[in-house]
Copies of this chain bind each other. A is one copy, B any other.
Amino acid sequence: MRADARRNRQSVLDAAYDILAVEGLGVPIDEIARRAGVGAGTVYRHFPTKESLIEAVVLDRLEALTAKARSGIDFAEFFTVMVEAGLANRAIAEVLASAGYHIPADADAALNAAFAELLQAAQRRGDVRLDVTPDDIQALVIGCVATARHRGATDLVQIVVAGLRA
């Protein structure tokens, strides 16, 4: 791979990450290209479709979340981390809410597995009601992101966490 090609590819990824976080999935490719200082054609040479570019960006974030989940973090804390991740990055939130795009099953599964472990540990310790599943929690995270977006305060998350207690 030629040096300029590799450099451009990275510029596109960086620009896409920044803009997607702020503008969400609706942002035009041309805007990402302009921000990256390349032409739209260059974006499409490296990523065959808009969806594949978004996938590459989002995947990176999901992996970071998975790593965090495996770092011995507390369940309630991690819940907050996930909500904050969705808040800081519109694209993440929209993809999680599957507003048109979908993520590769294996990346999703890895996050879910790490997450399920945290949840089960919390339930074994008696901190969380037994009748909630990982899917329930994912839905609640999506909901909390939507909630928090419309009120600056993230302390509403505490209400949901309180409701989760055994």
A146 at interface by CB-CB < 8 Å: yes
Question: Whole-angstrom distance between the alpha carbons of A162 and B160 in the complex?
Answer: 8
A interface bracket (residues with beta carbon within 8 Å of B): 20 to 34
Chain B residues with CB under 8 A of A162: 162-163
* Chain B positions within 8 Å of A56 at CB level: none
Judged by a CB distance under 8 angstroms, whether A97 is at the interface is: yes
Among A47-55, A117-125, A133-141, the stretch in contact with B: A133-141
Interface positions of A from 95 to 116, Cβ below 8 Å from B:
97-98
Q: How far is the CB of A50 from chain B (nearest CB, A)?
A: 17
Asked if residues B140 and A147 are in contact (CB atoms below 8 Å), the reply is: yes
Nearest-neighbour CB distance to chain B for A157, whole angstroms, equals 10
* Cβ B139 vs Cβ A151 within 8 A: yes
**Interface: A142 (CB within 8 A):** yes
Given the complex, which residues of B lie within 8 Å of A15, measured CB to CB?
A: none
Contacts of A98 in B (CB 8 A): 150
**From A98, which residue of chain B is reached at the shortest CB distance?**
B150
Out of B136, B150, B156, B161, name the residue touching A156 (CB < 8 Å): B136
* Contact yes or no, A142 B150, CB < 8 A: yes
Add 4 more A-B contacts to A136-B151, A146-B146, A146-B147 (CB < 8 A).
Answer: A98-B150, A140-B159, A143-B148, A163-B164
